[in-house]
């Protein structure tokens, strides 16, 4: 045995007798193994194949974790590449208001929306914020998510933005789910502030402090009509990039103002929302290698038109999906996002699975094979209590996840 060969004595986990094991190949297609097993050594996938040969090579008695997946499908753990999961307060009354005909703009003018959450976050203690985030991560994990991006952006001042990022880092240390931190000081214009004046603060004070803190990996901005213009967004993102923060862009969510072209010009890791992206935008993003992150739950919650996933797919773009979990889009379920992607955005179940795993990891610039379950990659696994991965979007509104493994460790079981 060479040093590079997996050693059965280091067997972290064995998942056996699965009706179906699904991997994502380099070209984005699915690899489907019937009546199969996965052996995990030192947290990585070591072998996938028919249960008999795999269990002979890796005896179950040598495994720390043994999962009987008889009759079940095994898929990569979901990667949720766009959330605002750290917040305080309750905005369920705004859901009722929208159902009664109020627009989001009217809710904002009444003191609701993002700025209401900002007030709640500023008042909350760090321990309250951490408890809230850990609770949300528990729910995400139970729905099969093993990696998640979490943004700041409900502080809108240097102190609170740093507090949020510190809490995100603490949650990553305390929870099985991998948490990827994004700085989003340019999420909204604070009450009583001028947009240009606030952008000065983000660029001159917040970004240097965030970089010194050393938590955030990305810098995001809400490039949107009535929020931050393309020039303002460019200034924020360029400043962040010059100081080591990789750019992301909220683009074309409520109107078309040019955020997609900005993302393409900057070579951003992702452009997100894209409900009003044009064919030219799609071509520019695809040519620039920007991952389009589509958020069907947001359109669902707003009663808006859905993004045109098929146009992106036909252009050859690596479409990702995410929950956009936040007080205005209150769903932590990548399974539900997959259902919406299929029913409302024209994606196939296979495309939705790839979008919520491999392509979602690309949107976070994760280069270790997360979201693929290929040999040699992290063993982040969701066991579905159904015979096929198709049941994830097919069972809309129902959580089909039974067991979750993170790096081969069982971290959730129903």
pLDDT tens-digit series, residues 34-89: 999 999 999 999 999 999 999 999 999 999 999 999 999 999 999 999 999 999 99
**Is 359 a known ligand-binding residue?**
no
Residue pair 87/35 in contact (Cβ under 8 Å)? The answer is: no
Question: How do residues 135-194 score in pLDDT, each as one tens digit?
Answer: 999 999 999 999 999 999 999 999 999 999 999 999 999 999 999 999 999 999 999 999
Distance CA 221, CA 243 (A): 16
Residue intervals in the chain for CATH 3.20.20.140: 78-363
324 marked as binding residue: yes
241 C-beta neighbours (distance < 10 Å), count: 16
In whole angstroms, give the CA distance from residue 409 to residue 381.
Answer: 9
Kindly indicate the confidence band of residue 103, based on its pLDDT and cuts at 50, 70 and 90: confident
Domain boundaries for CATH 2.30.40.10 within the chain: 11-75+373-413
Q: pLDDT tens, 340-373?
A: 999 999 999 999 999 999 999 999 999 999 999 9
DSSP H/E element including 411: strand 409-413
Q: In angstroms, rounded to a whole number, what is the distance separating the alpha carbons of residues 280 and 239?
A: 26
Q: Is 253 annotated as a binding residue?
A: yes
Output the six-digit token pair for 49.
């194949």
| 276 annotated to bind ligand | no
Distance of CA 147 to the CA centre of its chain: 7
Q: Are 95 and 303 in contact (CB under 8 A)?
A: no
412 is in an annotated binding site: no
To the question of whether residue 91 is assigned a binding role by annotation, the answer is: yes
Q: Residue 116 annotated as binding? A: no
The number of CA neighbours under 13 Å toward the Cβ of 341 is 32
389 is in an annotated binding site: no
Ligand-binding site membership of 84 (annotated): yes
For residue range 230-253, list pLDDT tens digits in order. 999 999 999 999 999 999 999 999
Non-local CB neighbours of 102 within 8 Å, separated by 6+ positions: none
For 11-75+373-413, CATH number out of 3.40.50.10440, 2.40.160.20, 2.30.40.10, 3.40.50.1010 equals 2.30.40.10
For the domain made up of 78-363, the CATH class stated in words is alpha beta
């Amino acid at each position: 045995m060479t040093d590079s060969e997996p050693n059965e004595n280091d067997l972290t986990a064995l998942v056996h007798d699965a009706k179906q094991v699904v991997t994502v190949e380099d070209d984005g297609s699915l690899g489907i193994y019937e009546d199969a097993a996965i052996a995990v050594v030192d947290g990585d996938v070591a072998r996938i194949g028919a249960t008999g040969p795999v269990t002979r090579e890796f005896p179950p008695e040598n495994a720390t974790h043994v999962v009987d997946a008889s009759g079940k499908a095994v898929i990569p753990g979901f990667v949720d590449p766009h959330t605002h999961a750290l917040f305080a307060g309750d905005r369920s009354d705004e859901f009722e208001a929208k159902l009664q005909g109020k627009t989001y703009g009217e809710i904002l003018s009444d003191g609701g929306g993002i700025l209401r959450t900002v007030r709640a976050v500023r008042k909350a203690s760090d321990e309250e914020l951490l408890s809230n985030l850990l609770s949300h991560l528990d729910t995400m994990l139970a729905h099969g998510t093993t990696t998640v991006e979490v943004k700041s952006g409900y502080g809108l001042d240097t102190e609170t933005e740093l507090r949020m990022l510190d809490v995100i880092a603490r949650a990553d240390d305390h929870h099985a789910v991998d948490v990827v931190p994004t700085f989003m000081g340019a999420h909204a214009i604070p009450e009583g502030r001028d947009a240009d004046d606030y952008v000065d603060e983000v660029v001159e004070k917040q970004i240097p402090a965030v970089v010194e803190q050393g938590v955030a990996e990305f810098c995001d901005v809400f490039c949107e009509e009535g929020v931050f213009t393309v020039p303002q967004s460019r200034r924020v993102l360029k400043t962040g990039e010059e100081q080591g923060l990789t750019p992301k862009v909220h683009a074309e969510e409520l109107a078309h103002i040019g955020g997609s072209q900005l993302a393409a010009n900057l070579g951003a890791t992702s452009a997100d929302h894209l409900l009003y992206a044009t064919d030219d935008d799609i071509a520019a993003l695809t040519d620039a290698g920007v991952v389009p992150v589509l958020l069907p739950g947001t359109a669902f919650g707003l009663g808006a038109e859905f993004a045109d996933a098929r146009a992106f797919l036909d252009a050859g773009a690596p479409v990702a999906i995410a929950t956009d979990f936040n007080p205005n889009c209150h769903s932590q379920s990548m399974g539900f996002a997959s259902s919406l992607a299929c029913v409302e955005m024209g994606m196939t179940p296979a495309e939705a699975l790839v979008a919520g795993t491999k392509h979602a990891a690309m949107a976070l610039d994760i280069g270790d094979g997360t979201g693929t379950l290929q040999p040699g990659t992290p063993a982040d696994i969701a066991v579905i209590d159904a015979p096929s991965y198709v049941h994830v979007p097919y069972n809309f509104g129902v959580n089909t996840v039974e067991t979750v493994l993170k790096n081969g460790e069982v971290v959730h079981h129903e």
